[in-house]
A and B are shown apart, each in its own frame.
Chain A
């Protein structure tokens, strides 16, 4: 029973390039959450998606960031024209229901480094 799968685990990009981070939720989970963790900081909410719908993107920067969760395939967090400040660990979590019972299942994170 695979957990939440994220890839790539590590990604290095130069300023101005695009970064794509993927998240496959646990089997049977249709709710996905993306969090960003800066060094020495807590997890900060970015976006909550259900299949084919963005439910809440209030934590997403207004520009360069987008997320999707298509009917088929993983959820994707896309960062265009990356800047050094985008360097962080990006965690995906999934839950079986729309209102988390508390037990969010987290992936191992994707660590983005922008040179």
Chain B
């Protein structure tokens, strides 16, 4: 069965810290891995990763994929209180158009 596992499930850090969120997956076929940020409303798209070893960056956020070890990490540097959210990892298994989501990592940034 295809699955996506995120860790930690929750994380509390102080403003300014750097955090690393983990996502491992098991899928029969793989097309891409996706990261979303969910605050109180809709998940918003952060990154799509398809190739190993190529880092994607957007401001203080970056992500990289390891297709050999089947995981991805999402890094946030110099965290701010506005980074507090649930970060969702999802995998597109290139089958039936279903994107499979992990349970998310709940990140809380203390001022």
- Residues on A facing B (Cβ under 8 Å): 3-4, 33, 35, 40-45, 48, 55-56, 58-59, 91, 98-109
* Partner pick for A42 among B32, B98, B103, CB 8 A cutoff: B103
> Do residues B41 and A108 form an inter-chain contact, with CB atoms below 8 A?
yes
> Do residues B103 and A101 form an inter-chain contact, with CB atoms below 8 A?
no
* Partner pick for B97 among A35, A98, A103, CB 8 A cutoff: A98
What's the dominant secondary structure at chain B's contact region? Answer: strand
* Partner pick for A43 among B6, B88, B92, B96, CB 8 A cutoff: B88
A60 vs chain B, min Cβ distance (A): 12
Given A48-B97, A91-B43, 15 more contacts at CB 8 Å?
A: A43-B43, A43-B90, A43-B101, A45-B98, A48-B98, A58-B98, A91-B42, A99-B97, A102-B32, A102-B48, A102-B92, A103-B48, A106-B43, A106-B44, A108-B41
